[in-house]
Amino acid sequence: MFTIREAAEMLGVATSTLRRWENEGKIKSVRTTGNHRRYTVEELSKIKKVKPLNEKITVGYCRVSSSDQREDLKRQVELVSMYCTAKGYGFEIIEDLGSGLNYNKKGLTKLIKMIQSNQVERVVINYRDRLIRFGMELIEQICEFHDVKIEVINQTEDKTYEQEMVEDILSILTVFSSRLYGSRSHKSKKLKQMVEEVIKE
């Protein structure tokens, strides 16, 4: 039995819409002793096929480092979706944009919250480093604690690994040099240029 707020969330509508549907006879609720509405999955499914809140799903996580890699992100989403479909998984795709060193990405934060609230059965990624580049062991421990499997589609080395590593290093240097010298300072720009030249060599 679900509250009106939970039922509305499952159907993707406002609570006022549920009340209106009930008045129109499209859906029925059971009243508690305190006169609060409660809904069953069977009743909600008359409006839309719904998934119980405690039913776990597969999450396909796809990430690229920068906005100019949108095509790569699109390919990841297609590949992960095809993999999950072929396996017969009920799945949701989370797309993320940001460095593999950034632990505060919107998509990663959403994924971790879903794992901690026991909504996830497995996480599917194209390459191992799609989640995070360093500290993967910590994510694996969180998943293990919540009985979540991590499935890596491609076990070979990511083709963009070196490119992403360069971008990650430059991101770190940009942050620290900006703090030391200011983002527009000559020293900050010179340091970044020197590092880029060393990496190219």
**Antiparallel, parallel or unpaired: β 37-38 and 57-64:** unpaired
- Write down the pTM of the prediction: 0.56
Could you tell me if 128 and 190 lie in one domain?
Answer: no
The pLDDT of residue 128 is: 81
Could you tell me if 65 and 147 lie in one domain?
Answer: yes
Q: Which of 16, 29, 65, 66 is catalytic?
A: 65
Quickly count: other Cβ atoms within 10 Å of residue 19's Cβ: 15
Could you tell me if 72 and 132 lie in one domain?
Answer: yes
Could you tell me if 95 and 9 lie in one domain?
Answer: no
Could you tell me if 102 and 120 lie in one domain?
Answer: yes
Q: Count of alpha carbons within 13 Å of 29, Cβ hemisphere only? A: 22
Contact 120, 59 (CB under 8 A): yes
Is the model's pLDDT at 194 over the cut of 80? no
The pLDDT of residue 167 is: 57
- Residue labelled with tokens 């934060």: 109
The pLDDT tens digits for 24-61 are 888 899 988 888 888 887 787 777 765 555 578 999 99
Residue 51 lies in a domain: no
Q: Which residues of 103-140 are buried (b: 16+ CB within 10 A; e: fewer)?
A: eebebbeebbebbeeebbbbbbbbbbbbbbbeeeeebe
Q: Is the dihedral of CA 119, 121, 147, 153 positive or negative?
A: negative
Residue 16 lies in a domain: yes
Could you tell me if 80 and 116 lie in one domain?
Answer: yes
Q: Distance between CA 32 and CA 51 in Å, rounded?
A: 23
State whether residue 155 is helix, strand or coil.
coil
Could you tell me if 104 and 72 lie in one domain?
Answer: yes
Residue 52 lies in a domain: no
Nearest to 2 by CA among 46, 57, 56, 54: 54
The CATH number of residue 167's host domain is 1.10.287
Could you tell me if 178 and 140 lie in one domain?
Answer: no
Q: Among this protein's residues, is 185 annotated catalytic?
A: no
Residue 107 lies in a domain: yes
Could you tell me if 65 and 98 lie in one domain?
Answer: yes
Could you tell me if 11 and 94 lie in one domain?
Answer: no
Could you tell me if 101 and 143 lie in one domain?
Answer: yes
Q: Which two tokens stand for residue 67?
A: 């906005």
The pLDDT tens digits for 100-143 are 666 778 899 999 988 988 889 999 998 887 887 667 788 889 99
Contact 127, 154 (CB under 8 A): yes
Phi, psi of 44, deg, nearest 5: -65, -30
Residue 49 lies in a domain: no
CA terminus-to-terminus distance, the chain: 64
Which residue range(s) make up the domain with 71? 57-152
Split into its structural domains, the chain has a count of: 3
Q: Rounded mean pLDDT of the chain?
A: 79
The CATH number of residue 129's host domain is 3.40.50.1390
Q: What angle do CA 180, 184, 188 make, to 5 degrees?
A: 45
Could you tell me if 17 and 66 lie in one domain?
Answer: no
Residue 144 lies in a domain: yes
